[in-house]
Amino acid sequence: MTTGHDTRLDSFNDTGLYPPNNHRDRPEDPDMTATDQRTQEPGADSAPHDGAEPETERTVIFDVEDLNVYYGDFRAVRDASLKVHKNEITAFIGPSGCGKTTLLRCFNRMNDLIETARVTGSLRYHGVDLYHPKVDSVEVRRQIGMVFQKPNPFPKSIWANVAYGPRVAGLAKKGPAMDDIVENSLRKAALWDEVKDRLDDNALGLSGGQQQRLCIARAIATDPDVLLMDEPCSALDPIATTRIEELMQGLKDDYSIVIVTHNMQQAARVSDRTAFFSVEVNPESDTRTGILVEYDSTQKMFSNPADERTENYVTGRFG
Amino acid sequence: MNEVGPAELSIEALSGSPRRVRRERIISRAMFCAASASVVVSALIIYALFAEAWIFMRDVDWSATWGQLGWFPRRGIYDMPTLLVASLWTTAIAMVVAAPLGMGAAIYLSEYAKPSHRALFKPILEILAGIPSVVLGFFALLWLAPNVVAHIGGEGGRGSMLAAGIGVGILTIPLVASISEDAMAAVPKSLREASAGLGARRAVTTVRVVLPAAVSGLVASLIVAVSRALGETMVVFMAGGAADAAIKTYSPYEGSLTMPAAMASLASGTDQVVGEGLTFQSLFFVGLVLFMLTLGLNLIGDRFVARVREQY
């Protein structure tokens, strides 16, 4: 599963297409490496520095095709199709009620917790149909971690919060092995230095930003393959938000991240690809169904989107 | 357009209708009186209880209240341990029945039940809560005794503390279930989602996240249930296997009198409360002991319930 070579393409920096202040550490253009999204001639005005094939397709983690999500009779998402790639940050943006969170919650079958939710179409995770009757949602969630909109640490100690997932999954028991997992997870979540002296304190005593980083540490403690983040910064102040965004850039090397965000600037800052969702009002029933309008590299989505609705949204004329 | 406003503004213009102001005041006072009535009634009960109990405590030969053969109030023998042991047994048996069944029902309703099942089970639990205790007393004596007690070492043909305890237990199941379920429902959904998102199954989420977070409420439900079981009268009177006197026994298979059952037996009957001089007052003394016990338990229970509200 390590076909995601470091396909370095500095063409965008040469052509000045990258925003000058972007802090990506891996400036490859996802556009050129994904066959389904290829819109430009690769290699025409750029040469790979390390000899990697520019055409190399990044491993597809999620392959969504014609996915529909229903709550009872109400269709929340209609015919969504997209591919999520390994070691990338994929952002879902769009106005409220456009189904971006609903779709995200399909990826780890969190919608199963809602009695009336139903999914049709195909959602493949590394080629496996996630909604196959034999697939156990609990096993899925062990591989696909989730960070929620509001920080939701357990009312337990900081240590117990991080240790919860590994313990439930049977990865380790109390002891040095678990201590290592807790420390590593907290380090990865950039929280270790702040809490290392009070691991036994209740997690509810942390600030909002620290709580959310704790939730990220808790999610990565089970060593998942993918991290789903549902508006992880919406309850945080700008400084805490910046920290989480920096953290995401660091986590990208080890995990694939899908993030739902209300904040377009955030999507532009952190993500490699962006999917824009919009709302379609059904004339007869006055219900609102989310549709995927456009999905492309973040670069293209924010500079030269193909769809007029995307352009209106990202330029602030709508939404 | 010029500014438009009232030409003149006076105090009278802003005083409101005197009739409405007066009516508001009357309503407020009426409601205060209604609230006060319950306080006054409580005070009267405590006064009546204390007044008669005081006579008993002053005049009784205290050796008659301890180490005697049993509870024979009409003969001047008021052995308190007889009643306390009986109350302890029936309450303990009731809890053995009510705690697992009540909490199990609460866990099912709060964590597992589909909405349609919830809609079926909750009203049934409420019906169980509404069954008159005299009906349950009959049930305990005529069904539980021959069909349950007889199979676990007791005699089916008569009442016993075991039969009474099981009956009281059934009576307190809805109480345990409803308070426990409220406590679990108060645990934020986000915690369950966090746990599920980490790959925990429902049972793990319940044991590791929901129950610890709701523990104060669960303890409260048990304390309230104990207090209810201690005070339960009709079931223990009917199914407890003793009429107006009891020989001291430590075996739950025997019949005996709990505190409320002893009071009920003294206060009932055609011969009124007659006997040795203090028989009547002993009724109040037992009532006072019972009142103190349940009051203490309720205070502790309230503390736990309050702690549930503090969290989150």
Residue B146 CA to residue A43 CA, distance in Å, equals 90
What secondary structure letter does DSSP report for B110? I
What pLDDT is stored for residue A52 in this prediction? 40
Within a domain: B5: no
Residues forming beta bridges with residue A117, ordered by sequence position? A71
Put simply, the answer to whether B197 touches A110 (Cβ < 8 Å) is yes
Q: Are residues B85 and B71 in the same domain?
A: yes
At residue B65, the 3 state secondary structure works out as helix
pLDDT above 70: percentage of residues in chain A = 82
What pLDDT is stored for residue A315 in this prediction? 85
Within a domain: B85: yes
Q: Are residues B108 and B144 in the same domain?
A: yes
Q: Are residues B144 and B50 in the same domain?
A: no
Within a domain: B8: no
A28 CA to chain B: closest CA distance, Å?
31
A-chain residues near B311 (CB < 8 A): 155
Q: Are residues B182 and B265 in the same domain?
A: yes
Number of domains in chain B: 2
At residue B186, the 3 state secondary structure works out as coil
User: What is the number of other CB atoms lying within 10 angstroms of the CB of residue B5?
Assistant: 7
> Is A313 within 8 Å of A278 (Cβ atoms)?
yes
A146 CA to chain B: closest CA distance, Å?
6
A-chain residues near B188 (CB < 8 A): 152
What pLDDT is stored for residue B248 in this prediction? 86
Question: For every residue of A9-58, which 3-state class applies, written as one string?
Answer: CCHHHHHCCCCCCCCCCCCCCHHHHCHHHCCCCCCCCCCCCCCCCCCCCC
> Is B77 within 8 Å of B68 (Cβ atoms)?
yes
Q: Where are the domains of chain A?
A: 1-58, 84-109+129-283+292-314
At residue A276, the 3 state secondary structure works out as strand
Task: Name residue, tokens 């305990």.
Answer: B140
A-chain residues near B192 (CB < 8 A): 113
B-chain residues near A219 (CB < 8 A): 197-198
Q: Are residues B17 and B55 in the same domain?
A: yes
Residue A149 CA to residue A191 CA, distance in Å, equals 19
pLDDT band at A42 (very low <50, low <70, confident <90, very high): very low
From start to end of B47-157, where are the E strands? 70-72, 77-78
Put simply, the answer to whether A219 touches B195 (Cβ < 8 Å) is no
Put simply, the answer to whether B208 touches A168 (Cβ < 8 Å) is yes
Give the least confident one: B65-74, B108-117, B181-190.
B65-74
Put simply, the answer to whether A152 touches B195 (Cβ < 8 Å) is no
pLDDT band at A318 (very low <50, low <70, confident <90, very high): low
Residue A12 has pLDDT above 90, yes or no: no
CA distances from B249 to B62, B81, B88, B169, B258 (A): 21, 9, 12, 21, 12
Q: Are residues B49 and B175 in the same domain?
A: no
What pLDDT is stored for residue A35 in this prediction? 40
Tell me the helix, strand and coil percentages in chain B, rounded to 5: 75, 0, 25
pLDDT average, residue stretch A279-301? 88
- Counting one residue from chain A and one from chain B, the pairs whose CB atoms sit within 8 A come to 67
N-term to C-term CA, chain A: 38
N-term to C-term CA, chain B: 55
Could you say which architecture CATH assigns to the domain A84-109+129-283+292-314?
3-Layer(aba) Sandwich (3.40)
CA distances from A9 to A12, A43, A54, A156, A299 (A): 8, 9, 8, 46, 14
CA distances from B11 to A291, B14, B15, B24, B62 (A): 61, 5, 6, 20, 72
Q: Are residues B286 and B183 in the same domain?
A: yes
User: Regarding predicted confidence, which is higher, B217 or B29?
Assistant: B29
Residue A17 has pLDDT above 60, yes or no: no
Q: Which of A108, A142, A148 sits opposite B190 (nearest CB)?
A: A148
**Minimal-distance CA residue of chain A relative to B213:** A155
Put simply, the answer to whether B191 touches A152 (Cβ < 8 Å) is yes
User: What is the number of other CB atoms lying within 10 angstroms of the CB of residue B177?
Assistant: 29
B-chain residues near A234 (CB < 8 A): none
Query: Which phi and psi angles does B310 have, rounded to 5°?
Result: -70, -35
What secondary structure letter does DSSP report for B62? G
Q: Are residues B247 and B261 in the same domain?
A: yes
Residue type present at position B249:
T
Residue B310 CA to residue B312 CA, distance in Å, equals 7
> Is A86 within 8 Å of A30 (Cβ atoms)?
no
> Is B168 within 8 Å of B94 (Cβ atoms)?
yes
> Is B162 within 8 Å of B93 (Cβ atoms)?
yes
* CA proximity to B242, closest of B134, B120, B82: B82
B180 CA to chain A: closest CA distance, Å?
19
pLDDT average, residue stretch A204-227? 94
What pLDDT is stored for residue A297 in this prediction? 92
Put simply, the answer to whether A150 touches B194 (Cβ < 8 Å) is no
Put simply, the answer to whether B200 touches A168 (Cβ < 8 Å) is yes
Q: Are residues B100 and B21 in the same domain?
A: no
Q: Are residues B69 and B54 in the same domain?
A: no
* CA proximity to B266, closest of B94, B50, B75, B81: B75
Q: Which helix (H) or strand (E) holds B170?
A: helix B161-185
B211 CA to chain A: closest CA distance, Å?
12
Put simply, the answer to whether B115 touches A141 (Cβ < 8 Å) is no
pLDDT above 70: percentage of residues in chain B = 93
In the stretch 161-200 of chain A, residues with CB closer than 8 A to chain B read 164-165, 168-169
Each residue of B60-94: pLDDT tens digit? 888 888 888 888 888 888 899 999 999 999 999 99
The alpha helices in A50-173, defined as continuous H runs, are: 100-107, 137-143, 158-169
Within a domain: B3: no
| Cα B93 off chain centre by | 15
- Average pLDDT value over all residues in chain A: 82
Put simply, the answer to whether B199 touches A218 (Cβ < 8 Å) is no
Residue A33 has pLDDT above 70, yes or no: no
Within a domain: B204: yes
What pLDDT is stored for residue A8 in this prediction? 38
Q: Are residues B152 and B185 in the same domain?
A: yes
Q: Are residues B210 and B163 in the same domain?
A: yes
Q: Which domain holds residue B38?
A: 13-59
Task: Give the best residue of B198, B210, B307, B312 to mutate against chain A (max A CB count within 10 A).
Answer: B198
Put simply, the answer to whether B198 touches A110 (Cβ < 8 Å) is no
Put simply, the answer to whether A164 touches B195 (Cβ < 8 Å) is yes
A-chain residues near B114 (CB < 8 A): 115
